[in-house]
Amino acid sequence: MQNIASMGFRRPTDIQYKAILPILNGEDVMAVAQTGTGKTAAFAIPIVEIFSTKRAKVEAFAPRCLVMVPTHELAIQVSAVFRTLMQGTGLSSLALFGGVDQELQVNTLKNGVEVLVATPGRMFDLASQDYLKFQNVEVLVLDEADHMLELGFITDMDQLFRRIPSRRQTLFFSATIDPKIKNLAYNLVRHGVRIHISPHDPISKNIDHSVAYIEMDDKRFFLEHIIKGYPDSKILVFVRTKVRAERVLKALERVGLTGQTIHSDKEQKERSQVMADFKSGTNKVLVATDISARGIDVPNVDIVVNYDLPEVTENYVHRVGRTGRGDNRGMAISFCSDEEREVLKQIEEYLIKPIAVAQISKDEYEATIDFSESAEHDWQSLIDEQNAFEAKQKLKTKPKAKSKRRKKK
């Protein structure tokens, strides 16, 4: 209870209230709940309670609980939740992911850990080297399992299910669920408890989300406008590609704004530093790709900007869910160009309701561009533009010379 209080929990959230007791009773659970509702603690609290009361000798390389996650950042953050809850219990956890030297991870596994939070790549790599065994797994947790399917980990997951004991407790947790993952869950979960929080509204009520119709080439001006309008706010900006993330950052730097990017091309050490800077507030603007959306659990993200609408409709929920977490309110605004209107339509169909439109008048739209430091407007260009206009007008008003009629012979 002391450790739970240290995490800032005063009372259980809906997902925690409905999931903790079935997990303590050893039941399988398939839970779908909005982002920011405390899903990680919903499975971590009962697992730590079970392991602290039902002690067992931990063997080298053989964890009692395996938590599968899709990204490095999520592995780090889920393991951190376990470590906080385990303080004073003598239990231990490890975040296992690639991009770093494996020696320290192997040494920790050799000493034995109760809970292993792992991404599929590094986990199967160490298993192939005989540094990881699955025979003692009592609890399997699939966190953001739908995203693992999306990233193509289904074959790896099938291999894992064949290697771990069939007599185990299986827990599925996600903010969204599609037919493929639902079928997979039904095949693995035995008489499981199904929990669905706010099935008709996957967006937290703590988030004010809207969409603004902005042309693709003008998005940088409006992002600049938002950042300058909220100078003390933590702002998370989502784009579609790694290249685009770097371009957006360069555009911000050209107008004197600072920020950082996070995507899969960066080394793990750099990614960890970027996340630390954003959490501490040293950096207040983070430009991210969807691959990182599931791993960004930063307190007090004030604004999420969907600079590009996501290609996968479910990712809209995960993106905007980075703000308005817990009891905090948040704001999310999406930029929609003409090319993205069909994507917006698909997102609204998924949400089963339209997204509120942020009304921008023509004058406001033009003023946002004109007052940008990167706008191609200065006094000289205005003078040149006026001179060109006047010269054009003179040509129009200049009388035409009369043509002489040729006499017929």
Encode burial over 145-175: b for 16+ CB neighbours within 10 A, e otherwise. Answer: bbbbbbbebeebbeebbeebeeebbbbbbbb
**Residue 202 CB contacts under 8 Å (≥ 6 apart), including other chains:** 34, 175, 176, 317, 351
Identify the segments of the chain with pLDDT beneath 50: 377-378, 403-409
Read off φ and ψ for residue 376, nearest 5 degrees.
-85, 50
Architecture, CATH, for domain 2-196: 3-Layer(aba) Sandwich (3.40)
Write down the residue that tokens 């850990």 correspond to.
113
Same fold, 2-196 and 207-370: yes
Diameter of the chain measured on Cα atoms: 121
172: which strand partners? 30, 142
The burial class, CB within 10 Å (0-12 / 13-18 / 19+), for 205 is: exposed
For 284, the 3-state DSSP assignment is coil
- Domain ranges in the chain are 2-196, 207-370
Note the pLDDT of residue 409. Answer: 45
Note the pLDDT of residue 206. Answer: 84
Residues 197, 244 contacting (CB under 8 angstroms): no
Reported as a single tens digit per residue, the pLDDT across 128-169 is 999 999 999 999 999 987 776 666 667 777 778 888 898 899
Q: At the topology level of CATH, where does 207-370 sit?
A: Rossmann fold (3.40.50)
